[in-house]
Structures are given as C-alpha cells and as structure tokens.
A and B are shown apart, each in its own frame.
Chain A
Amino acid sequence: DAKTTQPTSMDCAEGRAANLPCNHSTISGNEYVYWYRQIHSQGPQYIIHGLKNNETNEMASLIITEDRKSSTLILPHATLRDTAVYYCIVRVGAAGNKLTFGGGTRVLVKP
C-alpha cells in the first residue's frame, strides 16, 4: 500500500472548519483513501473514504485532488469532541486487505 504523509499536529478553533491535509503521491489506481480517527483510549472510528470523487457524509467531507496525490479531510464545524488523532490511510479496497497506520495528525480543538 502507498504511504501517506500528514502533519504531526494542528490546532483549530471550536465552531470553525478543520482542514486536515494528507499526501499520498505514490497512490495506485485501485487504492482508496480512508480516514479514521482515534479519540484517547478508544478504538479507531471510521470517518469516510473515497477513490477519486469528492465524498461527503454526516461526519465530514473528503476532497481528493484530480491527480489523487493528495487529499483533505474537512470537519465542517469542529467541536471539542473532535479532538483526536486523525489517520489518513491508503488501501486497496477488499475485506482481506489490512490497514497500515502511520503517525496521524493530532488535532486539538480549542474553545
């Protein structure tokens, strides 16, 4: 699976949009971009995933560049409960394919 690069940490203001970048310049055509987050002492929570089109669900939006070498996760209105480590992972879609976690981005939402 292709590797991803994310900033180590970032702060954002409560109520504002949080934009989390991810670089995946070696992504292959059949690899999806997945986003998970892990709140302290809990299991990771699935957020969203996409292949090449932009995606939106009740939690977030995922913007993937046309060349698919980078993406941005957008939390539209950050709350204090969004404080977590956010992981961007690239993976071929299939039940048997593992997720490889990097260091992620530690997001701190401040009042």
Chain B
Amino acid sequence: GAVVSQHPSWVICKSGTSVKIECRSLDFQATTMFWYRQFPKQSLMLMATSNEGSKATYEQGVEKDKFLINHASLTLSTLTVTSAHPEDSSFYICSAAGTSGPTDTQYFGPGTRLTVL
C-alpha cells in the first residue's frame, strides 16, 4: 500500500516551453500533496504544499506564477513549470499524505528529472 506515482519519469524540453508533471496516489486518498525540488548533491527542498480543492501554499522564494500547482482531486496533483529555463533543470519529487492515522505519513513518488535545453 501507499504507492505514489509520477509521470513522466524524465523529460527534456526547450527553453521557453512549459512542462506538466503529474503526481498520483494510487491506493489512498491524499488530502495533502507536496512538491519538492532537488539539485545535484543537495537535499530535497520543499516548493509548495497543496490541499485538494484549494490553492497551493508556496515556500519563500518559490515563484507561484512559474510553478503552477493544481490539486484537483484526492488522487491527483500536477506541477506545471511555465516558460522553463535551463536553471529549472532539476529532480522534481512529489509526496502525498492521507488521513490514515494520527501521524499521516508522507509517501514519495519516484521523481521526475527535468532537463531544459
């Protein structure tokens, strides 16, 4: 149980284009989903938190107009990187937490590697 998937697993795009990444909780309902970014040899950094049906909360320094997050259902959240540039190249990872217990453990997807040329 507690499986989270991401699609695509990797993507290469040209500078100036937009890229959409999907995150799905396959066997549980995720009331909250999180998006992280990880640069090489660094730790994960939280970008935003989203709750189903409401606007995402972005961490300080993360541009909400550039990284659009939609959490339309209890099993799906999407991250759209708009007008991507080479500096946006990174490993993007989502996680999902449900309401299965008092601690609501977060489970992570496998990640999406974005390369912007």
Partner of A43, one of B31, B99, B108: B108
B32 engages A96 (CB within 8 Å) = yes
A95 engages B111 (CB within 8 Å) = no
A42 engages B110 (CB within 8 Å) = yes
Query: How many residue pairs, one in A and one in B, have C-beta atoms under 8 Å apart?
Result: 63
Q: How large is the interface on A (under 10, 10 to 19, 20 to 34, 35 or more residues)?
A: 20 to 34
A41 engages B32 (CB within 8 Å) = no
B111 engages A98 (CB within 8 Å) = no
Please judge, given known A-B contacts A41-B111, A43-B109, A43-B111, whether A93 and B46 are in contact too, CB under 8 Å.
Answer: no
| CA–CA, A93 and B99, complex, Å | 11
| CA–CA, A46 and B97, complex, Å | 12
Across the A-B interface, the 9 shortest Cβ-Cβ residue pairs: A93-B103, A95-B104, A43-B108, A95-B97, A101-B44, A101-B43, A44-B108, A95-B32, A43-B111
- Chain B positions within 8 Å of A102 at CB level: 43
**A-contacting residues of B (Cβ < 8 Å)?**
2, 4, 6, 31-32, 34, 36, 43-46, 49, 51, 91, 93, 95, 97-99, 102-111, 113
Whether A100 sits at the interface, judged by CB under 8 Å, is yes
**Can you pick out 5 interface pairs between chain A and chain B where the beta carbons lie within 8 Å of each other?**
A38-B44, A42-B111, A43-B4, A95-B99, A96-B51
**B-contacting residues of A (Cβ < 8 Å)?**
32, 34, 36, 38, 41-46, 49, 87, 93-104
- Chain A positions within 8 Å of B106 at CB level: 46, 99
- Chain A positions within 8 Å of B46 at CB level: 98-100
| CA–CA, A69 and B41, complex, Å | 28
Given contacts A43-B6, A45-B108, 4 further A-B contacts (CB under 8 A): A46-B105, A46-B108, A97-B104, A99-B46
Q: What is the distance, in angstroms, from A10's C-beta to the closest C-beta of chain B?
A: 17
- Chain B positions within 8 Å of A103 at CB level: 43
- Chain A positions within 8 Å of B49 at CB level: 96, 98
